[in-house]
Amino acid sequence: MTRTINSYVNGAPVGAAPGGTVENRNPANLDDLVGTVAMGDANTFVDAARAAKAAQPGWADVPAPIRGRAIAHIGRLVEANTEALARLVTREIGKPYAEALGEVREIVDTCDFFVGEGRRLYGQTVPSEMPDKALFTFRNPVGVVATITAGNFPVAVPAWYLVPALLCGNAVVWKPADYSPACGEALYELFVRGGGLPEGVLNLVMADGEQTFAGLEQSLEAGLVDKVGFTGSSAVGSKIGELTGRHLQSACLELGGKNPMVITPSADLDLAAEAALFSGFGTAGQRCTSLGTVIVHESVHEDFLARFDKLTQQAPVGDPTQGVVFGPMLDEKFAERFEDYLGWIQPHHTVLGSSATGRITATNPREGFVGDPEAGVFYHPTIVDGVREDDEIFRNETFGPMVGVTTYRDFDEALRLANLPGYGLSSSIYTTDANDAFRFRRGISAGMVSVNNSTSGAEAHLPFGGNGKSGNGSRQSGMWVLDQFTRWQAMNWDYSGRLQKAQMDVADLTADESYRLPE
């Protein structure tokens, strides 16, 4: 019997499928039907926003430490179901099982961190310039948060939104990626059951991009949504930002990246090559933090490239349950898009990393492939050397297993090349020179910098996010994300028994002999 994956509004599954039904298949084994998705439409999104709007005041009235306890229970339930959830991630999007386990652990870490924030939603007591007057600040929830997430991290990244948003007293409408709906439904159930969330506080909408955008637009116009969070492509993020801007909102945007890795003459080349393999080809290069271009000093270019190429050719690729470096593309639509990126390879480029490019099949094989290449959507890892700054491969995100390589002569040129594409998410430098490390940190436009580590990877207590085409400066994770899901409120309490008019009265106050300032 085929499993049906539903939307959930106000605590109940939505039985209808106004957006039709869609088959959800395992990209590593297309014969494996994960489930059939009952797709909603714009009205489903609006209904969810209306339910959230009605439920939010009651949830905000729950004391923040108690909301923190709900987050603690969610973390424990996710932890108890780690292996089952990781297996579902691997089955639904083809992420290698070891990576999927790490992704689930990220949810637990996020919950563990934000439990304490339930007792630390601090404001401040501020000194007043007037006597007998006290000033305070408070964090208030924004209201209803609409969250739209990508499927390359189908459970960890949503948790980055859901956990702090709920902790701060908001209600949420969550729309997961249409190619990871089973993970979305599973995470929804863990949150609702683990946290004992009241009906309407968390709502789940299954819909395609067009219907989601229409529903979001209608919800904003009706005043049902107070904050939007989006993780996805830069192109869609710009449309979300434009829409929210019309309603005087600033969306939390976590977008794509063209993440550079600079290799200096002093670098440990073996370590750098290992990092390039992981950050370039982990999750088949389908991370926002995936390595885009290696910018390697001309003096070590050949040596580094030989090591990187050797590791890439030896890397096991295939069945994501079998300990491979990477598995399939997330979905057929990403395979189609990656074919376009392969078309950007020019005659002046040198292609390495595999004996072939494109889709791995029986007629286009990869040596040492693990499993049956015909069963899923698998692609050869591709290293493109000789990339120039005016190449499309250099300037644009290539979401898939492709890494560009270029060279530089001096440090200023390396920084210029690293910043040139206009993204600003993640970056990395390999060096044993502290001066290089700090010059890179100061000059790079990226929101995240790694020294002698890969471009990929995040911890729950550090800010995550980018600038430029990678985002609008908003940050997720750590205490910094609280500014996305709360609004500051200032309060002044005058107990003088008379009307004090702040700056208008200060001149009189300082003129008084008892408050005479020294000459």
Active site residues: 288
Tell me the two tokens of residue 266. 């002093």
DSSP 178-231: TT-HHHHHHHHHHHHHHHTPPTTSEEE----HHHHHHHHHHHHHTT--SEEEEE
Non-local (6+) Cβ contacts of 179 within 8 A are 24, 92, 93, 151, 330, 331, 333
Alpha-carbon distance values, 367 to 75, 318, 456 (Å): 41, 11, 27
Q: 204-240 burial, b if ≥16 CB within 10 A, otherwise e?
A: bbbbeeebbbbbbbbbbeeebbbbbbbbbbbebbeeb
**If residue 146 lies in a helix (H) or strand (E), which one and from where to where?**
strand 144-148
CB burial of residue 330 (10 Å; 0-12, 13-18, 19+) = buried
Tell me the two tokens of residue 420. 């040139």
Alpha-carbon distance values, 43 to 47, 395, 514 (Å): 6, 39, 66
∠ Cα 459 463 466 (to 5°) = 115
CB of 470 closer than 8 Å to CB of 255: yes
**If residue 354 lies in a helix (H) or strand (E), which one and from where to where?**
none
Cα 377 to Cα 400: distance, rounded to the nearest angstrom: 12
CB of 240 closer than 8 Å to CB of 230: yes
Tell me the two tokens of residue 237. 């993020």
